[in-house]
Amino acid sequence: MPDPISVIVPARNEAATIGTVVATMRAMQDVAEVVVIDNASEDDTAARARAAGAVVVDEARRGMGHAVRRGVAAARHDWVMKIDADLDRFHTALFARMGAARAPGVGLVKGVWSDPKDNMPMTRLLVRPALRLMFPGLGGLEAPNTGIYLFDRARIAHAHLTGDYAVDIDVMLRVHAAGARVAEVDIGRIRHDARDIAHYNGMAEEILGFFLSRQPLGLLEDVMVIARTEAEAVCHAGALMAGKLIAGARVSVYLGEGGEGLDTVFADLPTYRWASLSAAASHVPHANASRLRVIAAPGLPPVRPASSVPVEVWEMADGTGKATDVLVGTGAGAALKRAALQSLGLPAEIAPQEMFRVVETPREPVTRP
């Protein structure tokens, strides 16, 4: 049988439609529960949702992203369908196409819909052009920022989703950066409440700001960290690792010994993995990777795995006074680096930057028989 689906419905002052939305989704095959996130409503949205059979959770912080993050965390199942609370008419038979589109390698299914009152200005003028320029693997999607979709939360660090209107795009980029496919299915014609220009202006500013914030993070870099011990990896590259993982990029750590010590620290970051140093040469970048970055401790034999994407090699700074080519601020990864150091019984004081030496600049893909 297909995996059960948890439906989440962010809602703020949607008493007029929420009961119908909940009842309709509860009747859909494979839906195990409907979770309504009451996002500081001033009407009886919550009461009507409960009366229709939903589980209701509160999120006092206003913002679509905050509500989605709360709902995803509250869901009982890993496959989560997010829908809008202001839907007027829709057919569950068409919505069921999203569940049917799940397949090996698919992490997200976008629902493509049409609305005679909405000519999709965000999609046409902002989201599609931005994706073509920054994440070309997603540039061909018909409805990249649709708010109706089904995804596997086990693939992404959902606790770190953005708190604003860009959350739907954040989910998509994280699934893509994890190496999974994004599929689309037609779910017919849907009517929403009419949006005004001020609504779109606010959305555009938040979405553009989100894209600009993600551009320097290298989400599609597949990162390999090669070290003798967990302590060596964390001391020299822990903040870089943590920052990448929080943003959604994949990081693989290959160690000469140990490995279990960081499992708890990185438990909610599904794109983290570790393996024995002997497995490093067999590393395969994920399907959506744009580059493989190898970060190695000094003195270790060089590892150059076969790769279908360009490879860049950095060496961790070893304190010998050699020239440092790259300084990476600890930034968003600082707290997790401290936690990792503490878990290993090491002092938690960290420098504001981590230092690396560029050994090889990006070169063409390496292939081996």
- At 89-109, the pLDDT tens digits run 677 788 889 999 999 999 999
Q: What is the pLDDT of residue 369?
A: 37
Q: What is the pLDDT of residues 41-88, one digit of tens each?
A: 999 999 999 999 999 999 999 999 999 999 999 999 999 999 999 876
Q: What average pLDDT does range 342-349 have in this prediction?
A: 93
**pLDDT exceeds 60 at position 365:** no
Would the pLDDT of 142 be above 80?
yes
Closest CA to 214 of 142, 337, 127, 105: 127
CA 259 – CA 340 distance, rounded (Å): 12
- Which pLDDT score is estimated for 296? 96
Confidence class for position 202, pLDDT limits 50, 70, 90 = confident
Quick one: average pLDDT of 6-15? 96
pLDDT for 363: 66
- Could you tell me how many residues make up the chain? 369
- Lowest-confidence region among 183-192, 217-226, 253-262: 183-192
Q: How far apart are the first and last CA of the chain?
A: 40
What pTM did the predictor assign? Answer: 0.92
Give percent of the chain above pLDDT 90.
Answer: 73
pLDDT tens digits, one per residue of 243-278: 999 999 999 999 999 889 999 999 999 999 999 999
Mean pLDDT, all residues of the chain? 91
Give the contacts of 51 (CB within 8 A, at least 6 positions apart).
Answer: 19
Residue type, 86: D
Q: What are the angstrom distances between the C-alpha of 291 and each of 47, 85, 132, 173, 286?
A: 50, 39, 17, 16, 10
| pLDDT for the residue 366 | 52
Q: What is the pLDDT of residue 196?
A: 63
Taking residues 297-307, what's their average pLDDT? 88
114 vs 120: CA distance, rounded Å: 9
What domains can you pick out in the chain, each with its CATH number? Answer: 5-215 (3.90.550.10), 218-363 (3.40.50.10320)
pLDDT of residue 203: 80
pLDDT value, residue 193: 56
Q: What is the mean pLDDT of residues 11-29?
A: 93
pLDDT band at 368 (very low <50, low <70, confident <90, very high): very low
